[in-house]
Chain A
Amino acid sequence: MTQQAEPAVTTPPAPGPGKASDGRTRERPLALRLLARPEVGVFLGAVAVLIFFLITAPAVRDGSSMANILYQSSTIGIMALPVALLMIGGEFDLSAGVAVITSALTASMTAYQLSMNVWVGVIVALIVSLAIGLFNGWLLVKTGLPSFLVTLGTFLILQGVNLAVTKAITGNVATDDISDMDGFDQAKALFASSFEVGGVNVKITVVWWLVFAALATWVLLRTRYGNWIFAVGGNKESSRAVGVPVTFTKISLFMLVGFGAWFVGMHQLFSFNTVQSGEGVGQELIYIAAAVIGGCLLTGGAGSAIGPVFGAFMFGMVQQGIVYAGWNPDWFKAFLGVMLLGAVLINLWVQRTATRR
């Protein structure tokens, strides 16, 4: 840690007393070792984007705009977490975006059409969301098809079902307003409420986002299940051969994405009271992009849960920052694309230079 990376050091360091050393590895300076970690790279990227908008858009400096940016980030971030875990586990889910809407539609229509407490709808939506995840995972494990194909299939299916079933039941492309139904206020308190911090209105999803991120980090680094996620993503056959339950791990990861879709779906339902059935398309790529910017390896086996938090923050920051800066919001997607490429390239460059020395 304190050792200097002077190129003049040509003799291998003498083995320390008591502990024999290989002598071929040299401890690299702390700064270089930190830079080699992708989540540190994305953290610096997020800070850079923040500073950029703090300078160009004075409105961002306000506390309430910051809360708004965090809220925007949290709706992406909550979904980006399970998507990141799944990506570390070696798969990805293209149906994640529309699955959010499917969940919200299910809850809304179940409660409204059966005139029941909204919690019934919420529970039914949870079951449906987990079942979609189970189906994705089961089909993947059973057939051995790439997750791109399997989830592209469910993506198209859900997109069609969302629209067709909503039209068939409500006669409209949106669901009916459920804000006056039993249990709505309770559910809203859990999924879509807000609270005051020093005169700034903060949405509850920000808290959930950070809680889930902490939980995901702990699971990933400190539990057997986390170990298995890295293992099945890194080398599926090896993992199976040493006794890791690969099938269980993969299917449960897809179900975790289902859980995330349910949570975000419930948030959308209880903050807007109604759901547009055609929404959600394209969101899955935003989640995947946030995970990749956050340093998760697209091919699996490496990544973190904290990286996607910064990845989602960058997205939220840009999305709101453009508005606060008074630019034409039509440029948002273009800006995102540049940012994605830039972040990935910087990550790659930083990692290469940091690991080479």
Chain B
Amino acid sequence: MTTEKTGTHGAILQDKAPEKDAPIVELRGAGKSYGNIRALHGVDLKVFPSQVTCVLGDNGAGKSTLIKIISGLHQHTEGEFLVDGEPVRFSTPREALDAGIATVYQDLAVVPLMPVWRNFFLGSEMTKGPWPVRRLDIERMKKTADEELRNMGIILDDLEQPIGTLSGGQRQCVAIARAVYFGARVLILDEPTAALGVKQSGVVLKYIAAAREKGLGVIFITHNPHHAYMVGDHFSVLRLGTMELNASRAEVGLEELTNHMAGGTELAALKHELSQVRGVDVEELPEEEDLTATVASTEGKS
């Protein structure tokens, strides 16, 4: 009987097993042009449940454009965007949310002047009563928000305080808790650690891992390879709007990731140039041959 009991857990895993083969969100050769500027071109990306997919890239690499397509703020102009194997084209973030794709933005996650609980439920408010007198169910919203935040380890004395008075890390966590609560299947995090201190970053990374444990597919956008390597299962490096690297954790090490992130081969060329300038020690810098990571363009990755 006890085996039967534990079997329930196994059953859940089995339920998830077929899902694991099928990505929730998939991009096939997707791209986006703003007028005559091609911000993104030929990007392949798959997001599986219970996996953290890290998207890395320098400024202007196309990270923001990529997540704006997935979150419904912009539409792709080339390639395909599939959710559960069906091609889709979101025209508003609301549609993406309805498909289970929630995005936590670095700078525009919350409305600073509004109380914490109002922010938590913003856009998906709980109501009660028939139409002409339909009103906010404030009691229930405050209670739920408090419970959810405590589950995530965020303890606030006063949910009425404007969310702008919280620290950056707390705000990110409120936004993540909100996304998890509203039944997101895919969680997109736009540079959640960029503006945070070391400890706060750790808290956010912990929640990313917690979200993965809950079976969510997480897209973690960052330009910090160290943060990415701590939680990531799959790494995609964008450079100048194209995919430079697309590798799983088994295929790439932190060092290689950092090199790719920093421009990889370009860096080796820079080393050569620097070596001709007096006073720069180039002995310790990596050579081009050291960079052995799988490169997306040279290998057809499934």
Question: Chain A interface: which of B121-129, B236-244, B276-284?
Answer: B121-129
Any A CB within 8 A of the CB of B61: no
User: Per-position contact with A for B143-163: 1 when CB-CB < 8 Å, else 0?
Assistant: 000000010000111100100
**Distance A58 CA – B64 CA, assembled complex (angstroms):** 67
Q: Which residues of A contact B135 (CB under 8 A)?
A: 218, 222-223
Q: Choose among A224, A243, A301 the residue that contacts B127 (Cβ–Cβ < 8 A).
A: A224
Residues A239 and B122 in contact, CB atoms below 8 Å apart = yes
Given contacts A224-B125, A241-B103, A242-B122, contact A22 B155 (CB under 8 A): yes
Residues B123 and A301 in contact, CB atoms below 8 Å apart = no
Residues B113 and A230 in contact, CB atoms below 8 Å apart = yes
Residues A241 and B161 in contact, CB atoms below 8 Å apart = no
- Sample of 21 A–B contacts (CB below 8 Å): A21-B155, A22-B156, A23-B157, A24-B157, A25-B158, A25-B161, A218-B135, A222-B135, A223-B136, A224-B125, A227-B136, A231-B123, A235-B112, A238-B105, A238-B110, A239-B122, A241-B73, A241-B103, A242-B93, A243-B124, A301-B111
Any B CB within 8 A of the CB of A280: no
Given contacts A25-B161, A243-B93, A243-B97, contact A227 B122 (CB under 8 A): yes
Q: Which residues of A contact B20 (CB under 8 A)?
A: none
Q: Choose among B105, B134, B155 the residue that contacts A241 (Cβ–Cβ < 8 A).
A: B105
Q: Which residues of B contact A241 (CB under 8 A)?
A: 71, 73, 93, 103, 105, 108-109
3 nearest A-B pairs in the assembled complex, by CB-CB distance: A243-B123, A234-B111, A242-B123
**Distance A22 CA – B136 CA, assembled complex (angstroms):** 27
- Most central of B105, B112, B114 by chain A CB within 10 Å: B114
Any A CB within 8 A of the CB of B94: yes
Q: Which residues of B contact A218 (CB under 8 A)?
A: 135
Distance in angstroms from B97 CB to nearest chain A CB is 5
Contacting B at CB under 8 A, from A95-127, are: none
Distance in angstroms from A71 CB to nearest chain B CB is 30
Residues A240 and B93 in contact, CB atoms below 8 Å apart = yes
Distance in angstroms from B40 CB to nearest chain A CB is 19
Any A CB within 8 A of the CB of B260: no
Q: Which residues of A contact B71 (CB under 8 A)?
A: 241
Q: Which residues of A contact B94 (CB under 8 A)?
A: 243, 245
Any B CB within 8 A of the CB of A182: no
Given contacts A21-B157, A22-B155, contact A227 B108 (CB under 8 A): no
**Distance A230 CA – B92 CA, assembled complex (angstroms):** 20
Distance in angstroms from A66 CB to nearest chain B CB is 33
- Most central of A24, A218, A242 by chain B CB within 10 Å: A242
Task: Give the nearest-CB partner of B179 in chain A.
Answer: A242
Q: Which residues of A contact B125 (CB under 8 A)?
A: 224, 227
Residues B122 and A244 in contact, CB atoms below 8 Å apart = yes
**Distance A226 CA – B138 CA, assembled complex (angstroms):** 13
Q: Which residues of B contact A302 (CB under 8 A)?
A: 113
**Distance A234 CA – B123 CA, assembled complex (angstroms):** 14
Q: Which residues of A contact B114 (CB under 8 A)?
A: 230-231, 234, 301
Interface size class of B (residues with CB under 8 A): 20 to 34
Given contacts A223-B134, A302-B113, contact A237 B108 (CB under 8 A): yes
Not counting A223-B134, A230-B111, A239-B123, a sample of 4 additional A-B residue pairs whose C-beta atoms are within 8 angstroms of each other reads A227-B136, A234-B114, A240-B73, A240-B92
Contacting A at CB under 8 A, from B145-186, are: 150, 155-158, 161
Distance in angstroms from B69 CB to nearest chain A CB is 14
Q: Which residues of A contact B136 (CB under 8 A)?
A: 222-224, 226-227
**Distance A179 CA – B108 CA, assembled complex (angstroms):** 56
Distance in angstroms from A239 CB to nearest chain B CB is 7
Task: Give the nearest-CB partner of A226 in chain B.
Answer: B136
Residues B161 and A235 in contact, CB atoms below 8 Å apart = no
Any A CB within 8 A of the CB of B234: no
Q: Which residues of A contact B113 (CB under 8 A)?
A: 230, 234, 297, 301-302
Q: Which residues of A contact B157 (CB under 8 A)?
A: 21-25
Residues B123 and A244 in contact, CB atoms below 8 Å apart = yes
Any A CB within 8 A of the CB of B32: no
Any A CB within 8 A of the CB of B118: yes
Any B CB within 8 A of the CB of A20: yes
- Most central of B109, B114, B122, B125 by chain A CB within 10 Å: B122
Q: Which residues of A contact B138 (CB under 8 A)?
A: 222
User: Per-position contact with B for A229-262: 1 when CB-CB < 8 Å, else 0?
Assistant: 0110011011111111100000000000000000
Distance in angstroms from B62 CB to nearest chain A CB is 19
Q: Which residues of A contact B127 (CB under 8 A)?
A: 223-224
Q: Which residues of A contact B122 (CB under 8 A)?
A: 227, 231, 238-239, 242, 244
Q: Which residues of B contact A297 (CB under 8 A)?
A: 113
Task: Give the nearest-CB partner of A244 in chain B.
Answer: B123
Residues A231 and B111 in contact, CB atoms below 8 Å apart = yes
Q: Which residues of A contact B158 (CB under 8 A)?
A: 25
User: Per-position contact with B for A40-58: 1 when CB-CB < 8 Å, else 0?
Assistant: 0000000000000000000
Q: Which residues of B contact A237 (CB under 8 A)?
A: 108
Residues B93 and A235 in contact, CB atoms below 8 Å apart = no
Q: Choose among B105, B118, B155 the residue that contacts A20 (Cβ–Cβ < 8 A).
A: B155
**Distance A218 CA – B157 CA, assembled complex (angstroms):** 26
Distance in angstroms from B181 CB to nearest chain A CB is 12
Q: Choose among A25, A230, A240 the residue that contacts B118 (Cβ–Cβ < 8 A).
A: A230
Task: Give the nearest-CB partner of B96 in chain A.
Answer: A243
